[in-house]
Amino acid sequence: MNQDVVSPSPIRLVVLISGHGSNLQAIIDNITNKNLPAQIVAVISNKADAYGLERAKKAGIKHHVLSYNDFTDREDYDLALKNLIDEYQPDLIILAGFMRILSDEFVEHYSQKMMNIHPSLLPKYKGLNTHQRALDAGEKEHGCSVHFVTTELDDGPVILQATVNIEDNDTAETLATRVHQQEHRIYPEAIRLFAEKKLKLK
């Protein structure tokens, strides 16, 4: 065996979801196809009916529901979430359509170890309802961004972006579909850059 060629050992990911989980699926597929030196050690959803949980189950990945309704406030919830995540000793936390804002304390605990995919060309259209807002503003281009999560919402350092052209007949739905295709390409790629230690914060 050639000792000089050392492939990086798979990094441990915990993926947080709230819904469909198509980005989760893209990450699973890239790992399966050996395009991504990572392993998903757990999937956690804040919604019991998130379809992404089925994807985790099908892939044989441990999964949990942590519902906000079972907690009295955000701090309480975030503490439980942090304790659950830390049982898995992850190298990187992946927000994949996770729809709850996280407290400063939580975010600082995972400083430079948590990524999000946001459906806009940041710094444009932070927050929610991004596709409709881009259409309403008459934009010619839209897209998605992978960024490190900081305490400022959707404001952390951008890792990768992808652009799609907006067509005259686009609706929020048709636009979202094309943006999703790009998300599924750049999110696994951003995780790969992290795993290969190719990301440097400036």
Tally Cβ neighbours within 10 Å of residue 14. Answer: 25
Residues 65-124, interacting with ligand GAR (CB under 6 A): 96-97, 99, 117-119
Name the segment binding ligand GAR (CB under 6 A); options: 13-21, 106-114, 167-175, 192-200.
13-21
List, as one string, the DSSP characters of 126-188. Answer: -SS-HHHHHHHTT-SEEEEEEEE--SSTT-SPEEEEEEEEPPTT--HHHHHHHHHHHHHHHHH
Which of ligand NHR, ligand GAR, none lies near 23, with the C-beta cut-off 5 to 8 A by kind? ligand GAR
Cα-based distances in Å from 64 to 80, 90, 117: 12, 15, 21
Nearer to ligand NHR by Cβ, of 151 and 161: the residue is: 151
Nearer to ligand GAR by Cβ, of 8 and 101: the residue is: 101
Here's the x/- map for ligand NHR, 114-133, by CB under 6 A: it reads as --x-x--------xx-----
CB contact at 8 A, 144 and 179? yes
118 belongs to the catalytic site? yes
Are β-strands 141-148 and 158-165 bridged in parallel, bridged antiparallel, or unpaired?
Answer: antiparallel
Which of ligand NHR, ligand GAR, none lies near 102, with the C-beta cut-off 5 to 8 A by kind? ligand NHR
Sign of CA dihedral 190, 197, 60, 48: negative
The tokens describing 76, both together, are 């309480």
Q: For ligand NHR, how many residues bind (rule: CB under 6 A)? A: 16
Given 63, 118, 180, 184, which residue is catalytic?
118
The reply to whether 100 sits near ligand NHR by the rule CB under 6 A is yes
Which residues bind to ligand NHR, rule: CB under 6 A?
A: 95, 98-102, 107, 116, 118, 127-128, 149, 151, 153-154, 156
The residues annotated with a catalytic role in the active site are 118
